[in-house]
Amino acid sequence: MTVSTSPAGAPPAARRTLLGRALESATHRSVPVLVVLAIIWAIFYSQSSAYLSFQNLTNLTLQIVTTAILALGVVFVLLVGEIDLSSAVLSGVCAAVAAGLVVNSGLPLAVGIAAAVLTGMAVTFVEAQVIMFGVPSLIVTLGGMVILQGLILVVLPPEFTISVAATPFAKIASTTIPAGLSYALAAAGTAAFAAYRLFQHRERVSTGSAASPAAVVVPSLVLGAALLGGVFTLTRQRGLPMPLLILAVMLLVAWYATTQTRYGIHLYAVGGDREAAQRAGIPVRRMVLYSFLVLGACAAVAGMVDASRQLGVSVTSGSGPLMLNAIAAAVVGGTSLFGGRGSIWSALLGALVIGSISNGVQLLGLSTEVQYFATGSVLIVAVAADVVLARGSLLPGRR
C-alpha cells in the first residue's frame, strides 16, 4: 500500500482517500479467498453430500468461532507490522482466571468476564512495552508464550482442571437466540448497512462525484441474502448460537473502528510506513500498544468461549494448533504479514478456510496428516501471494 499519510488534522476528504485505498485493497484480496473457499467446499461435497448439510454447516461455524475471534486480534497486530505467538496460550490463562472466579469463588459471571479481559490486556500491555523498547515482537511473544505456559499452572487449582459444566459459565456457549429474533437481527443489520450505503451515496452526489444507485442496492441485497441465508441455515437445529452472535458483534465493532474512525486511518498508516506516519504526527508507539491491547481482549473472549464449549479449562487450554490456525486464518484471509494491508473480515474468511479443511478431513475420516498438509500448503500459497503483492512483481528481487 502506498501511504500518503494525513496528519490528525487533515481534511476529511484526504482521510477518505487513504482509507478508500486500504478498503479497495482489502476487497480485492478477499475475492481469491472466496474462490478458494468455494473450491474446498466443492471438493469435500463431492466426497460426501453431508458436508453441506444444515447440521454440518452449523458444526463448522461453531468450530471456527474460537479461531476467528483470536484471529481478529491477530489482524490488528499484523496491520501495524508486528506478530504475536503468545495469544493462544493467553486465551487459556484468561479462561482459567474467569472459570476460577465464577466456579471456584462463586462470583458473578460478569466479574469473571471482566477479570479475564483485564488479564489479557494487562499481559499484552507488558509485551507491548518491551516491544516498543526495541525487542522484536517475535522474540517477546515467543518468550511470553513460554511464561504463560507456566502461569496457567499457577492459576489452575492443584488438580490442574476446572469443570464449568452446569454453571453460568457454560451458558456462554449453550445459549441460543430464537429464530424469530435472529431474523429480526439480520433484517436490522441489513437495514443499517443499506442506510450507511445510502449516506455514502448522498455524500458522493453532494460532492459532484459520479455515483450510481446500484452501489447502494446491490451490496445491500447481497448482504441481506447472506444474513438471511445464514440465519436460515444456523437456526435449523436449536437456534442461533450465542458464540456466533458474539463473533458478529466483535467483527462489526472492529469494522467500524478500522474504517470509520481516525484510529483506523492511523492503524493502516503505521503499518504501511512507520517513518512517514511518524513524520505526519501519528503516535506510532501508541498505535502499536492499542493493537496489542485489542489482541489481549480478543484472546480473553476466545478463551472463555472455547472453555464454555469444552465445558472446562485445563493445562491444554490454548495449546495445540490454535495459535498456528489463528495466524494462518489472518494471513490466508488477506492480511499482510508486512503490515498496512488487510481487513478485519480476514479473520472470518481465513477461519472459514482453515476450519473447512479441518471439518472436511474429520467428516471423511481422513488422517490428521492430510489436514496438516492442506493447511500448510494453503498458508504457504497465501504468504507467497502476499510477497508478490508487496513486491509488485512475480520476479524475485535482487539481493
Indicate the number of domains in the chain. 2
Give the end of a domain, one of 191, 208, 238: 238
**Distance set, CA 385 to CA 71, 194, 389 (Å):** 19, 33, 6
DSSP state of 169: G
In a domain, 397, yes or no: no
Q: From CA 198, how far away is CA 190, in angstroms rounded? A: 12
286-332 pLDDT tens trace: 999 999 999 999 999 999 999 999 999 999 888 888 898 999 899 88
Q: From CA 195, how far away is CA 150, in angstroms rounded? A: 50
* Residue 337 pLDDT level (bands cut at 50, 70, 90): confident
CB 342 within 8 A of CB 78: yes
Report how many helices (DSSP H) and strands (DSSP E) the chain contains, helices first. Answer: 15, 4
In a domain, 14, yes or no: no
Nearest Cα to 146, choosing from 88, 62, 65? 88
Give the end of a domain, one of 206, 238, 270: 238
131 and 274, same domain (yes or no): yes
Q: From CA 390, how far away is CA 384, in angstroms rounded? A: 10
59 and 187, same domain (yes or no): no
**Distance set, CA 334 to CA 287, 372, 376 (Å):** 21, 20, 16
pLDDT of residue 146: 94
225 and 371, same domain (yes or no): no
In a domain, 26, yes or no: no
Q: From CA 369, how far away is CA 325, in angstroms rounded? A: 15
In a domain, 258, yes or no: yes
* Residue 99 pLDDT level (bands cut at 50, 70, 90): very high
Q: At what angle do helices 54-79 and 322-332 cross, to 10 degrees?
A: 80
Q: What CATH number has the domain bearing residue 58? A: 1.10.3470
Please give the residue range of the domain that contains residue 75: 43-178+239-390
Measured over the CA atoms of residue 332, residue 334, residue 340 and residue 343, the dihedral's sign is: negative
203-241 pLDDT tens trace: 777 777 766 777 778 888 888 888 888 888 888 767 788
CB 363 within 8 A of CB 56: yes
In a domain, 5, yes or no: no
312: helix, coil or strand? strand
211 and 163, same domain (yes or no): no
In a domain, 75, yes or no: yes
pLDDT of residue 295: 96
pLDDT of residue 396: 66
In a domain, 384, yes or no: yes
192 and 174, same domain (yes or no): no
341 and 374, same domain (yes or no): yes
172 and 258, same domain (yes or no): yes
Give the end of a domain, one of 238, 267, 288: 238
* C-alpha cell, 364: 471423511
- Residue 70 amino acid letter: L
CB 101 within 8 A of CB 112: yes
188 and 200, same domain (yes or no): yes
In a domain, 36, yes or no: no
165 and 185, same domain (yes or no): no
CB 5 within 8 A of CB 282: yes
Position 356 pLDDT exceeds 60: yes
274 and 165, same domain (yes or no): yes
323 and 345, same domain (yes or no): yes
Residue in the block written with cell 505467538: 85
CB 235 within 8 A of CB 245: no
Average pLDDT of the residues in 337-360: 88
Q: pLDDT higher for 382 or 297? A: 297
262 and 205, same domain (yes or no): no
Main-chain phi, psi angles of 120, to 5 degrees: -60, -45
* C-alpha cell, 344: 478485519
